[in-house]
């Protein structure tokens, strides 16, 4: 028993306790492992769920959040406007340009993105632009928090725009914050016309969205316009904002044939005519319309085109330019009133618009009228071309011709006597023309009218050219219609039709398409298109053209005799040719006339043609072509030396005085009164020049009939109105009385 080890109760108890503790520890460890596993699984599931959520958000709302980030960076995609092409004259002088300006844009959604942005931004605006109504801006920003595009001020210059940018940079440096947000500047272009009214009818103007109206602006609208660009903002792979730009493509520049210097001379004398004649016998301008075109005879290039009244291209709705114009009603029809300030103040919107529209139209291409005696060279050319005359004929003019049941008169009621072909133009004899018309016949006459392009558009490159095909007779015309057509009555034309056809009469017979643009270039100056002169047809032979030049020279120069009608058109020192015109308007007998002169220089080798039309001059006696010839004389006196066309005629003392007066006027703005008077005398044929003074018509010398007080024609016994010369008793007034 001595070998048996004895174990105490205490020892057994201790062993048992240790074993229990080990079991508890194991159970705890297992429990904790389970909890950690569950937690890990939960965390893993949470990350998986978060990842799924992020993927969903990225897929469904990624664009929205990207925009929010772009907002915070104060940048959005914007339009980059194109620059509309310039319009320049033949020497490169800019007549219409587009200048860059800036519109101030407030994005209230960004200004309000954080509260700390609002006050600094508003303070910056107030500091940089004192002219702003900050109360209105604050109200807009605080009450329209989602607004993204609000323009409180437009057309800021670059310097004005950069004022804000400098303030913003300085504020950021001083405060080490970027809290001026939500303000940006939109680039825009504004159409500017440097010479205001110059060539307004030719140029036209633009409205909203660069849409041209009238003139070159409308005709070449697609050429002048370019294509807008775009600047985009987006987030790159690194979540940084990226920018990409699609640049704008600027419009092309059009090079016009207009010479701004010649255009200015023409407009100066149209204005002078108006100032001298406005309000003469009626309220209103010096005439309802006055127009002038100067064209190169061998190219169709138009060097100048102007009419009066004009308007300001930079302020097209300036109603001051309506004053004195004939008024139109709300349907655009002419009335017998002339616009006053009181009329403007009482006009409704539609009537005002119609009157402005009437002002904006180009009289030289859009208005039609009867050409009167300027049509006579066309009649003679037609007769020569179709063999109806040889040029050696002599006609007897007794003052009238009975045709188609009517007594149709010459402008000299007592008759011209023996009239050869040259004198029929130089003296403007209606009777000789009617005899030629009978020889030509209706078929040939209408054929040649179309050959000269009467009744058809010339296709001049301007918007608004009138169609006249319904304003001519066909070959079924009556005998009286043919007779009156020969001297320019009973059919209508436009100024551009007349001068283009006339150029073909004096340049060898070549009909050039008239045009105002000869070149198109891109924004870098590279030539896109050259527009060469286009000969469309030959209207007459070279021999006929040579004779017409000779006949028209006799209208102005001494070889036409004392009865020549265009003597007052000749500028000092130059020989020119041309034809006067006086046409009655409808209704006949209203004592209202359209007077004109169409001429060329130099006389023996025409280089340029000029056409002046005065529509219903403001005068007691409107049927006086000198209203037109004096404008021609004034214009050519300055234009011919400018074009390096040299004088060929000896200057008289009075002409020297006239030129000295003009030089003083151009230098100092006002000529010496004595020299002005001498110049005026030279225009009327005084001071011993070869110009014949204007004399009273022959009927003014008739004796009075004691019983009636009318003037008595010693040849026919008819009684004439002492004021107008119209037959009132005796010979009945004809249905067609010229």
| Tens-place pLDDT, residues 607-646 | 999 999 999 999 999 999 999 999 999 999 999 999 999 9
Predicted confidence (pLDDT) per residue in 19-36, tens digit:
666 666 777 677 777 777
Q: Is the pLDDT of residue 737 over 60?
A: no
**CB atoms inside a 10 Å sphere around CB 217:** 27
**What's the average model confidence in pLDDT over 184-193?**
94
Q: Is the pLDDT of residue 234 over 50?
A: yes
pTM: 0.82
What pLDDT, on a 0 to 100 scale, did the predictor assign at position 378?
98
Identify the helix (H) or strand (E) that includes residue 172: helix 158-175
Residues 6+ apart with CB under 8 A from 4: none
Tokens representing 4 are: 């048996």
Contact 362, 214 (CB under 8 A): yes
Query: Of 524-533, 571-580, 669-678, 693-702, where does mean pLDDT reach its minimum?
Result: 669-678
Average pLDDT taken over every residue of the chain: 88
What pLDDT, on a 0 to 100 scale, did the predictor assign at position 680?
47
Alpha-helix runs per DSSP H in 475-515? 479-485, 495-506
Q: Is the pLDDT of residue 57 over 80?
A: no
Q: Is the pLDDT of residue 92 over 90?
A: yes
Q: Is the pLDDT of residue 556 over 80?
A: yes
Predicted confidence (pLDDT) per residue in 249-261, tens digit:
999 999 999 999 9
Alpha carbon distance 97, 75 (integer Å): 31
* 3-class state of residue 410 by DSSP: coil
What pLDDT, on a 0 to 100 scale, did the predictor assign at position 43?
82
Contact 272, 633 (CB under 8 A): no
Contact 717, 710 (CB under 8 A): no
Q: Is the pLDDT of residue 706 over 80?
A: no
What pLDDT, on a 0 to 100 scale, did the predictor assign at position 699?
57
Alpha carbon distance 525, 92 (integer Å): 11
Q: Is the pLDDT of residue 37 over 90?
A: no
Contact 552, 377 (CB under 8 A): yes
Nearest residue to 137 (alpha-carbon basis) of 161, 159, 119: 119
Domain spans of the chain? 24-57, 78-255, 650-695, 697-738
Instruction: Tell me if the bond preceding 537 is cis, omega within 30° of 0.
Output: no
What pLDDT, on a 0 to 100 scale, did the predictor assign at position 697?
55
Query: Of 296-310, 426-440, 656-670, where does mean pLDDT reach its minimum?
Result: 656-670
Label residue 53 by pLDDT band (50, 70, 90): confident
Label residue 721 by pLDDT band (50, 70, 90): low
**What's the average model confidence in pLDDT over 270-296?**
97
What pLDDT, on a 0 to 100 scale, did the predictor assign at position 647?
96
Q: Which residue has the higher pLDDT, 626 or 704?
A: 626
CATH code 3.90.1310.10 for 78-255: yes
């Amino acid at each position: 028993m001595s070998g048996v080890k004895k174990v105490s109760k205490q020892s057994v108890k201790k062993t048992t306790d240790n074993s229990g503790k080990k079991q508890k520890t194991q159970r705890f460890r297992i429990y904790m492992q389970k909890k950690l596993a569950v937690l890990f699984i939960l965390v893993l599931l949470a990350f998986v769920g978060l990842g799924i959520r992020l993927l969903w958000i990225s897929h469904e709302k990624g664009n929205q959040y990207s925009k929010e980030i772009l907002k915070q960076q104060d940048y959005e995609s914007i339009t980059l406007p194109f620059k509309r092409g310039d319009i320049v004259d033949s020497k490169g002088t800019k007549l219409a340009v587009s200048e860059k300006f800036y519109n101030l844009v407030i994005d209230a959604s960004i200004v309000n993105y954080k509260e700390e942005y609002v006050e600094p931004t508003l303070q910056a605006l107030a500091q940089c632009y004192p002219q702003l109504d900050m109360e209105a801006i604050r109200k807009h920003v605080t009450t329209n928090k989602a607004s993204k595009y609000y323009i409180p001020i437009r057309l800021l210059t670059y310097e004005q725009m950069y004022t804000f940018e400098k303030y913003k940079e300085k504020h950021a440096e001083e405060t080490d914050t970027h809290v001026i947000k939500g303000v940006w500047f939109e680039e825009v272009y504004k159409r500017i016309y440097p010479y205001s009214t110059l060539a307004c009818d030719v140029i036209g103007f633009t409205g909203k969205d660069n849409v041209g109206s009238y003139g070159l602006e409308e005709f070449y609208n697609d050429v002048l316009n370019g294509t807008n660009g775009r600047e985009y903002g987006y987030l790159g792979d690194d979540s940084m904002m990226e920018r990409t730009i699609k640049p704008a493509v600027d419009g092309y520049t059009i090079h016009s044939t207009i010479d701004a210097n010649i255009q200015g001379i023409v407009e100066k004398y149209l204005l002078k005519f108006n100032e001298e004649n406005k309000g003469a016998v009626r309220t209103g301008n010096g005439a309802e319309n006055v127009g002038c075109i100067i064209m190169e005879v061998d190219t169709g290039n138009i060097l100048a085109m102007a009419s009066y009244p004009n308007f300001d291209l930079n302020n097209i709705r300036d109603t001051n330019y309506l004053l004195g114009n004939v008024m139109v009603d709300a349907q655009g029809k002419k009335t017998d009133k002339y616009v006053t300030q009181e009329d403007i103040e009482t006009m409704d919107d539609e009537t005002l618009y119609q009157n402005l529209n009437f002002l904006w139209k180009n009289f030289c291409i859009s208005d039609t009228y009867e050409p009167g005696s300027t049509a006579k060279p066309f009649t003679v050319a037609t007769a020569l071309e179709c063999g109806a005359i040889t040029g050696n004929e002599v006609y007897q003019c007794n003052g009238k011709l009975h045709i188609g049941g009517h007594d149709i008169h010459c402008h000299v009621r007592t008759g011209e006597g023996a009239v050869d072909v040259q004198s029929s133009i130089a003296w403007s004899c209606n009777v000789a023309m009617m005899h030629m018309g009978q020889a030509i016949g209706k078929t040939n006459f209408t054929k040649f009218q179309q050959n000269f392009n009467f009744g058809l558009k010339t296709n001049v490159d301007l918007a608004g050219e009138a169609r006249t095909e319904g304003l001519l007779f066909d070959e079924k015309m009556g005998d009286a219609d043919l007779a009156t057509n020969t001297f320019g009555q009973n059919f209508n034309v436009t100024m551009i039709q007349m001068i283009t056809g006339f150029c073909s009469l004096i340049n060898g017979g070549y009909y050039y398409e008239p045009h105002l643009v000869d070149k198109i270039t891109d924004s870098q100056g590279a030539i896109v298109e050259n527009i060469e002169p286009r000969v469309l047809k030959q209207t007459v032979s070279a021999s006929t053209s040579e004779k017409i030049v000779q006949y028209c020279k006799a209208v102005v120069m001494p070889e036409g005799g004392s009865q020549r009608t265009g003597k007052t058109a000749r500028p000092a020192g130059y020989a020119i040719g041309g034809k006067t015109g006086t046409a009655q308007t409808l209704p006949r007998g209203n004592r209202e006339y359209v007077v004109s002169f169409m001429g060329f220089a130099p006389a023996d080798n025409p280089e340029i043609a000029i056409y002046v039309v005065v529509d219903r001059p403001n005068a007691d006696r409107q049927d006086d072509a000198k209203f037109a010839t004096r404008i021609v004389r004034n214009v050519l006196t300055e234009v011919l030396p400018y074009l390096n066309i040299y004088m060929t005629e000896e200057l008289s003392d009075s002409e020297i005085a006239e030129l000295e007066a003009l030089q003083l006027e151009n230098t100092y703005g006002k000529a010496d009164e004595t020299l002005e008077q001498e110049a005026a005398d030279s225009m009327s044929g005084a001071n011993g020049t070869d110009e014949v003074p204007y004399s009273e018509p022959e009927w003014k010398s008739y004796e009075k009939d004691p019983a009636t007080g009318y003037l008595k024609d010693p040849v026919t016994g008819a009684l004439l109105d002492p004021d107008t010369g119209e037959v009132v008793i005796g010979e009945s007034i004809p249905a067609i009385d010229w």
